[in-house]
Structure 1
Amino acid sequence: MLPAWLETVSDPILQATEAPSVEALHGELLRQWGSSEVWRLSYGLHSVIVKRGTDGQYGEGAMYQRFVIPLDLPAPELIHAGDGVLVLADAGRVTLEQEPTAEGFLAAAELVATIRSRSVDGSSEFPPERVKEMAGRIGRIGFDLSPLTEALAGLHREAPTAVVHGDFVPKNLVTDGTRWTAIDWPGAYLAPHLSDLYTLVRDAVSLGHDREPIIARYIEATGTDPALVDRQLLVGGGCFYLVALMFIVEEGLRTIPESKNWIDGLLTELEDVVGALA
């Protein structure tokens, strides 16, 4: 049974799918978290993705207007946005999480390169002083973060600011068999680090893939100095863990109760990254 809230976006859904009515649509629930609900709605050969977001997921439409559309980023086409509900083109039925192939991870590294190749206006939204501010809000970090702060300051002098997706993980990477696309953009922001590539490599390694070809593919696609990429990766990892921990403390404990079990592991990985920067 389709949720009642779909009625609020029935017109763009029917226009895109060419369905005669909402009742004629086939609905497939793809994801349901405390802060988001995602459906694939299809009629014949036509399908769309409809996403309803609350809390941190509510602002994805704004990220489309700010980054995705003007920069032509590799994301699903936005058909309609309003009041936390997005209607998107269906970018494919297979995620990298479902089929975690080596070729898929290499293609995803090229996606990171594409995203970072877009020239942006605006300053970094993850300045060095934010490390201390976030640590204070998290309140559970018992080790020195100054190596991360100093390395992040160095990146602001050495590396360009670009769009960071913010949740560049296999479940958010989709293919139609020909083209790979990144979905779920509410956490996008500007920064000089490489947390997107870091999380991609982290997941690849956990699945038994070699990290080096993935990083090499990114370096080949961007022409970036490998030593700089190494620093961007470590700093990106530290920033990713801070963002993840702050999400859990400020939202996840309420919307995803099991996220409390993620805290200790994230703290350990953050400490390892900071130690590598020291």
Structure 2
Amino acid sequence: MLPGWLDVIAGPVLEATQAPAVGELKGEVLREWGSSEVWRLSYGLRSVIVKRGSDAQTSEGTAYRRFVVPLQLPAPRLIHSVESDESVLLVLADVGRVNLEQEPSAEGFLAAAELLAEVRSKPVDAPSEFTSAQLLDLVRRSPASPALAERLSSVAVGALDQLHEATPARVVHGDYVPKNLVTDGTRWTIVDWPLAYVAPHLSDLYTLVRDAVAVGHQAEPIVARYIDAAGADPSLVQRQLSVGGVAFILRALTWVVEEGVRTVPSSSEWTEPLLAELDDVTKGLR
């Protein structure tokens, strides 16, 4: 069984795998959500990853053009893409069969911290895409209570403004979680870039640490490894982490209420835990 949309990108897939015909390909479903479908297609020892994205996932081709290719970020090589108003089809190099979610080792999380430092070291010729106005818009669109919304408006805005003065905006992956960190046994690669944008905060480090703690690892060594690899000021990183937590949770909440309940129905169960987490993170802002 192969994806029904494969005929649109069959040529590049056959060229990359050297398969004589589509019927000779072996297909393996890696993800099948309402807005994202991902397959590994292989012929012998050669394989590629093909993706179909809709809704928020349609912007991955744009992310490759804006960030991944010009900045030479540690992402899968883009072999081919086809875009329309409703979806994007991508053919990507296969960078490995094991991700950090499958094997959540301490070494893997430390390697991911170093990889993030590499991404954040790349200067970006673009203004921040997470300003105070955008933060307030997310607060308005989120299901936050009036009290939490007021606290966000009065405290998080000031913290974000201070970050813009203290450090330049850099690329944010936007979904820096273990399932999107893949290894071939030698090197790690970041996959799934449709949510990438530019901002001064460290929501990517926040989500990495968050998931590491959830599987029993300590946060401190991961943050320390990032600080060392980036040559960053520890106090600044702590502020970037706090604001990054707010940014990640607000973006996640608005995605759930505006898209997730339709494309991933089970995401409706994430709302209350995310609101509780947002409340905790906001209390830590100064």
Q: Using structure 2 for the length normalisation, give the TM-score.
A: 0.96
The offset of 1:141, in angstroms, is: 3.2
The offset of 1:147, in angstroms, is: 1.3
CA distance in 2, matches of 1:53, 1:32: 10
The one-letter code sitting in structure 2 at the alignment partner of 1:169 is V
CA distance in 1, matches of 2:14, 2:76: 18
- Tell me which residue corresponds to 1:40: 40
- Tell me which residue corresponds to 2:76: 76
Identical columns (%):
62
The offset of 1:198, in angstroms, is: 0.4
* Structure 1, unaligned runs of 5 or more: none
Deviation string 1:19-47 (CA, Å, 9 cap, x unpaired) is 00010001000000110000000001100
**3-state DSSP of counterpart to 2:39:** strand
- Tell me which residue corresponds to 1:87: 91
- Tell me which residue corresponds to 2:263: 255
* Contact preservation (8 Å) 1:135, 1:141: no
Give the counterpart of 2:109 among 105, 109, 114.
Answer: 105
* Contact preservation (8 Å) 1:95, 1:171: yes
Deviates more, 1:91-100 or 1:135-144: 135-144
- Tell me which residue corresponds to 1:180: 188
* Structure 2, unaligned runs of 5 or more: none
**3-state DSSP of counterpart to 1:277:** coil
* RMSD, matched Cα: 0.8
- Tell me which residue corresponds to 1:237: 245
Q: Using structure 1 for the length normalisation, give the TM-score.
A: 0.99
Matched, 1:140 2:144: yes
The offset of 1:137, in angstroms, is: 1.3
CA distance in 1, matches of 2:92, 2:253: 29
CA distance in 2, matches of 1:242, 1:36: 21
* Contact preservation (8 Å) 2:129, 2:197: yes
Q: Give aligned pairs, total.
A: 278
Deviation string 1:97-126 (CA, Å, 9 cap, x unpaired) is 000000000000011101100011011000
The one-letter code sitting in structure 2 at the alignment partner of 1:204 is A
The offset of 1:159, in angstroms, is: 1.2
- Tell me which residue corresponds to 2:18: 18
The offset of 1:140, in angstroms, is: 3.2
